[in-house]
């Protein structure tokens, strides 16, 4: 684990910050694949005007989409460059969100602040999943939900998804099945695999009302 943490600290964290401007171009070059793979998360969210916190919102493409649909948005990212890109994207569309630079391990909001917490392709970058989820669950309201979209092993155990997961791990990511982590915090959990070889999944943990 220490090796992955060092990869995150020395390489990926600076990349996310200083090269934030490249991310939208990469997604465009890959025919908006990342954005399309994020979209199933929307089906798990409560309807607008629910209050939603997006953790690790990147350049804010999904964030702006949700704000445009009428959600009361807040967002947090460790990389100042990503927060700046998201703020600019929102301003260009006349949209609003409460954005801040910060860590998932210390969310700057009081208990029971949000109807939903959303994280897409960010949870696998969190070295301490337990601390991250403790904070995410802390700030959801009773009856709210945690929605995580990420890559990893497929439930059917196919070889291609396994090889992709091992590749992502070698690059510093933490491949996980979030279901037991969410269930351990008293949430009712469901998961759906999709994407190439089922290597992407959306996991939803619902808090009792």
Which residues on neighbouring strands pair with residue 76, listed in sequence order? 55, 100
The pLDDT value given to residue 35: 86
Q: CA 99 → CA 30, 42, 49, 120, 209, distances in Å?
A: 27, 20, 18, 16, 27
Low-confidence spans in the chain with pLDDT less than 70: 1-31
CA distance 122 to 129: 11
Which residues on neighbouring strands pair with residue 204, listed in sequence order? 147, 190
Residue with tokens 């904070």: 135
Q: For 45, which DSSP code?
A: S
The pLDDT value given to residue 77: 95
DSSP letters, the chain, are -HHHHHHIIIIIHHHHHHTHHHHHHHHHHTTTHHHHHHTTHHHHSPPTT-EEEEES-TTSHHHHHHHHTT-EEEEEES-HHHHHHHHHHHHHTT---EEEE--GGG-SS-TT-EEEEEEES-GGG-S-HHHHHHHHHHTEEEEEEEEEEEE---TT--HHHHHHHHHHHHTT-----HHHHHHTTT-EEEEEEESGGG-EEEEEEEPP-
The pLDDT value given to residue 170: 87
The pLDDT value given to residue 12: 47
Domains with residue ranges and CATH for the chain: 2-206 (3.40.50.150)
Nearest to 55 by CA among 196, 150, 182, 175: 150
């Amino acid at each position: 684990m220490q090796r992955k943490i060092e990869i995150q600290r020395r390489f990926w964290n600076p990349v996310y910050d200083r090269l934030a401007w490249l991310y939208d171009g990469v997604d465009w070059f890959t025919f908006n694949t990342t954005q399309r793979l994020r979209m199933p998360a929307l089906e798990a969210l409560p309807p607008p005007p629910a209050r939603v916190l997006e953790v690790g919102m990147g350049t804010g493409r999904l964030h702006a989409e949700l704000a445009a649909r009428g959600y009361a948005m807040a967002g947090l990212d460790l990389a100042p460059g990503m927060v700046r890109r998201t703020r600019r994207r929102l301003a260009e569309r006349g949209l609003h969100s409460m954005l801040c630079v910060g860590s998932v391990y210390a969310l700057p909001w009081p208990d029971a602040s949000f109807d939903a917490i959303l994280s897409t392709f960010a949870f696998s970058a969190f070295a301490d999943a337990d601390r991250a989820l403790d904070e995410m669950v802390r700030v959801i309201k009773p009856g709210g939900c945690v929605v995580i979209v990420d890559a990893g092993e497929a439930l059917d155990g196919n070889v291609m998804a396994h090889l992709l997961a091992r590749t992502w791990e070698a690059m510093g990511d933490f491949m996980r099945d979030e279901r037991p982590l969410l269930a351990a915090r008293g949430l009712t959990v469901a998961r759906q695999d999709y994407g190439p070889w089922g290597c992407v999944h959306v996991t939803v943990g619902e808090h009792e009302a």
